[in-house]
């Protein structure tokens, strides 16, 4: 049954009264003890007359000082070093005030040694009692931890996070873990005792330690671990056949919750080892706070996360523009629940509809636009070339022009690493969208594009596909054993998107640091292991061949060519030239005519003219040749 607020208030009040009663007794006892110690427990009658004066001055002074230091609050069983420092400071201040007042109010001849004795006894009493309360709580917790129903546990990582986790587990009776030791790969820590718990060895000995100490679970407390380190720990745990969980990286820690409250299963995202993103929150806040923000594609994986993160910076409102009705309904419901004080406006529409866009811009007058709406599936767009161009090129042009016409201050386009030397229509369409922004950058609106790689867990990501295949018993399908991709988490990608718009100067393409490439087959293997299964034994991995428009590996090296550093260490600026605006408009009109005629051959030639490093896929070239053969056959028959 849930406790009522009134009960909690009364409980807190009673606890504070008990604290004050205890402290007042200590204050009085300290004064009496000081007199007894000074005169070897036999106070002469002459000096006994000073005791009432000492009590009358020290007690109220100490009560006032301890109240000002807020030492009547908190739980003594959680007392920390900083609390003891405040206790010491309060005692010193109270003794100093008493030293000033007693000569003025008490008869002459008050022994000076009493000041020091009272300070020492009072410090020992007020500080020591708190330590006793903490020790008693810990002993009680340790007694509880001997129960057989608690999981025998090792903490992997004897650093700050491991120590914090140990402390929280000890102080929380609801956490069913009995800590038997630490594992740490630093040889200098092996054999030490940290918080009374031994460091038993490194990760390489996990199997022996698990068997020797009958360990049921390993808690990984290394939030800063790299992907390679997490993968190695993962292997140690799997080989030891022990359950394992982790605490989150710093980017996931929620204020007000401890590490123990966030213990969770190891996810494949942990194996990327992405370092936390440090945001310049002031610059982001100045871009978003108090403004109406429009997000296109608001119900997609990137759009959703953008809405969540934008909401943290207190905009006047967020307009979620989306063509998918059900998905828009879901994000609307989520935003209203998670951010009840924020105005979220769900709007259905297509970026290909200029009139609908004008309605939205005119109604809400957004100051900032994040353009995330796009067709992103590479093989699918190779089979729907005209639809890819109509949406990713003409749709992006529509949104960008509407932004300029309605006085939008900042416009950000979500681009892709596939725009670098594209081998797919999707990549080429994204590169053209970038060129459109460069051409339009000559007025009030500040246009910025951001390129990044694959996003784990996003719509079309390999992770959801692999999970479904594993749940179905396999096989897990990978296109090629050497297929590599750059990955980011949705959370990190959207953080950097917000940062890029805040630092971009307009007419720029920002390139995000995507770390090291990951082999897709390794990702599949790790995901099978995380599911508690064995690759090739329980779940087979099947290679299906590279799909139309795909590269074997994305070209980060080429992406970094022609870039310069920015103020943020994870964002670089691509230095490139665009077409003049009039030339861009002329070229787009020509492209519209080609799309209207559904002439695939002319379309590919036109794309190649505007994006010279575009290499059409063999799949597309075969389709063009097949259409040419068919056209000739029809002409000859006529």
Q: What is the pLDDT of residues 318-354, one digit of tens each?
A: 999 999 999 999 999 999 999 999 999 999 999 999 9
Cβ(252)–Cβ(262) under 8 Å? yes
Percentage, residues of the chain above pLDDT 90: 28
In whole angstroms, what is the distance from residue 603 CA to residue 592 CA? 10
pLDDT of residue 252: 47
Structure tokens at 33: 């003890």
* Domain boundaries defined on the chain: 5-142, 147-266, 281-454+488-512+555-599
DSSP H/E element including 420: none
Architecture of domain 281-454+488-512+555-599: 3-Layer(aba) Sandwich (3.40)
Q: Is the pLDDT of residue 437 over 50?
A: yes
pLDDT of residue 589: 93
What's the mean pLDDT in 45-65? Answer: 88
Split at pLDDT 50, 70, 90, the class of 460 is low
Q: Is the pLDDT of residue 244 over 90?
A: no
pLDDT of residue 561: 55
Q: Is 481 helix (H, G, I), strand (E, B) or coil?
A: coil
What's the mean pLDDT in 204-219? Answer: 90
The residue among 601, 596, 466 whose CA lies nearest residue 542 is 466
Provide the edge-to-edge strand list for the sheet that holds 292-296: 344-348, 317-322, 292-296, 368-371, 410-414, 446-451, 508-512, 571-574, 563-565
Split at pLDDT 50, 70, 90, the class of 8 is very low
pLDDT of residue 334: 94
Q: Is the pLDDT of residue 529 over 60?
A: yes
Point out which residues pair with 198 in neighbouring strands.
193
pLDDT of residue 295: 96
pLDDT of residue 557: 44
In whole angstroms, what is the distance from residue 220 CA to residue 223 CA? 8
What's the mean pLDDT in 47-59? Answer: 88
Q: Per CATH, is 147-266 categorized as 3.40.50.970?
A: no
The residue among 230, 222, 210 whose CA lies nearest residue 530 is 230
**Burial per residue of 61-82, b for 16 or more beta-carbon CB atoms within 10 angstroms, e otherwise:** bbbebbeebebeeeebbebeee
The residue among 301, 313, 274 whose CA lies nearest residue 501 is 313
- Number of residues that this document lists for the chain: 638
Split at pLDDT 50, 70, 90, the class of 9 is very low
pLDDT of residue 577: 67
What's the mean pLDDT in 590-618? Answer: 91
Cβ(445)–Cβ(409) under 8 Å? yes
pLDDT of residue 535: 82
- Sequential DSSP letters for 190-231: TT-EETTEEEEE-GGGHHHHHHHTT--EEEE--TT--HHHHH
What's the mean pLDDT in 540-551? Answer: 81
Q: What is the pLDDT of residues 377-409, one digit of tens each?
A: 888 999 999 999 999 999 999 999 999 999 999
Q: Which range scores top for mean pLDDT: 169-183, 458-472, 597-611?
A: 597-611
Q: What is the pLDDT of residues 410-434, one digit of tens each?
A: 999 999 888 888 999 999 999 999 9
pLDDT of residue 129: 77
DSSP H/E element including 534: none
What's the mean pLDDT in 19-48? Answer: 86
C-beta atoms surrounding 188 within 10 Å: 8
How many whole angstroms from its chain centre is CA 395? 31
Cβ(483)–Cβ(520) under 8 Å? yes
pLDDT of residue 21: 85
What is the model's pTM?
0.65
pLDDT of residue 257: 46
Q: What is the pLDDT of residues 71-125, one digit of tens each?
A: 766 656 666 677 788 888 888 998 899 889 988 888 888 888 888 999 899 888 8
> Which of left, alpha, beta for 451 (phi over 0: left; psi -120 to 50: alpha)?
beta
Cβ(327)–Cβ(310) under 8 Å? no
Cβ(317)–Cβ(360) under 8 Å? no
- Cα separations (Å) of 267 from 58, 234, 246, 468? 58, 10, 9, 15
pLDDT of residue 343: 94
Residues 6+ apart with CB under 8 A from 585: none
């Amino acid at each position: 049954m849930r406790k009522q607020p009134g009960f909690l208030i009364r409980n807190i009040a009673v606890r504070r009264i008990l604290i004050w009663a205890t402290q007042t007794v200590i204050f009085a006892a300290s004064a009496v003890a000081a007199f007894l110690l000074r005169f070897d427990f036999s106070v002469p009658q002459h000096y006994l007359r000073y005791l009432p004066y000492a009590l009358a001055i020290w007690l109220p002074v100490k009560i006032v000082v301890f109240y000002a230091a807020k030492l009547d609050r908190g739980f003594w069983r959680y007392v920390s070093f900083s609390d003891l420092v405040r206790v010491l400071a309060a005692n010193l201040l109270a003794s100093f005030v008493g030293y000033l007042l007693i000569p003025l109010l008490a008869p002459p001849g008050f022994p000076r040694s009493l000041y020091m004795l009272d300070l020492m006894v009072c410090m020992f009493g007020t500080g020591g009692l708190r330590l006793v309360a903490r020790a008693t709580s810990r002993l009680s917790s340790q007694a509880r931890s001997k129960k057989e129903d608690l999981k025998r546990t090792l903490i992997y990582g004897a650093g700050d996070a491991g120590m914090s986790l140990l402390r929280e587990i000890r102080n929380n009776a609801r956490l069913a873990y009995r800590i038997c030791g630490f594992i740490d790969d630093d040889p200098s820590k092996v054999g030490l005792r940290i918080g009374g718990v031994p460091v038993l060895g490194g990760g390489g000995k996990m199997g022996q330690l698990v068997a020797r100490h009958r360990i049921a679970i390993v808690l990984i407390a290394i939030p800063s671990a790299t992907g390679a380190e997490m993968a190695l720990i993962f292997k140690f745990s799997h080989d030891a056949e022990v359950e394992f969980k982790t605490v989150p990286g710093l980017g996931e820690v929620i204020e007000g919750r401890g590490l123990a409250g966030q213990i969770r299963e190891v996810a494949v995202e942990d194996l990327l080892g992405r370092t936390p993103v440090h945001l310049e929150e002031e610059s982001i806040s100045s871009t978003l706070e108090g403004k109406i923000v429009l997000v296109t594609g608001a119900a997609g994986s990137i759009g959703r996360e953008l809405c969540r993160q934008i909401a943290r910076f207190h905009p006047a409102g967020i307009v979620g523009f989306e063509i998918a009705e059900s998905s828009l309904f879901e994000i609307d419901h989520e935003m209203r629940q998670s951010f009840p004080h924020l105005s979220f406006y769900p709007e259905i529409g297509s970026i290909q509809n200029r009139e609908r866009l004008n309605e939205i811009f005119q109604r809400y007058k957004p100051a900032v636009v994040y353009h995330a709406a796009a067709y992103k599936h590479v093989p699918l767009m190779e089979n729907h070339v005209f639809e890819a161009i109509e949406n990713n090129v003409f749709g992006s042009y529509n949104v960008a022009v509407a932004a300029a016409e309605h006085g939008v201050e900042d416009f950000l386009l979500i681009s892709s690493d596939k725009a670098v030397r594209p081998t797919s229509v999707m990549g080429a369409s994204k590169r053209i969208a970038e060129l459109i922004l460069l051409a339009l950058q000559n007025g009030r609106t500040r246009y910025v594009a951001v390129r990044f790689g694959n996003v784990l867990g996003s719509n079309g990501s390999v992770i959801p596909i692999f999970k479904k295949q594993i749940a179905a018993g396999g096989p897990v399908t990978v296109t090629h054993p050497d297929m590599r991709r750059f990955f980011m988490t949705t959370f990190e990608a959207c953080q950097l998107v917000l940062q890029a718009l805040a630092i971009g100067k307009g007419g720029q393409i920002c390139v995000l640091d995507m770390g090291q490439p990951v082999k897709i087959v390794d990702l599949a293997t790790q995901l099978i292991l995380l599911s508690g299964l064995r690759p090739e034994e329980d779940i087979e991995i099947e290679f299906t061949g590279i799909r139309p428009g795909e590269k074997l590996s994305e070209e980060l090296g080429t992406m970094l060519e022609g870039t310069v550093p920015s103020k943020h260490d994870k964002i670089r600026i691509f230095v490139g030239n665009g077409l003049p605006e009039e030339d861009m408009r002329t070229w787009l009109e020509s492209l519209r005519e080609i799309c209207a005629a559904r002439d695939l051959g002319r379309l590919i030639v036109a794309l190649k003219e505007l994006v010279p490093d575009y290499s059409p896929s063999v799949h597309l070239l075969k389709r063009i040749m097949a259409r040419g053969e068919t056209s000739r056959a029809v002409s000859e028959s006529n």
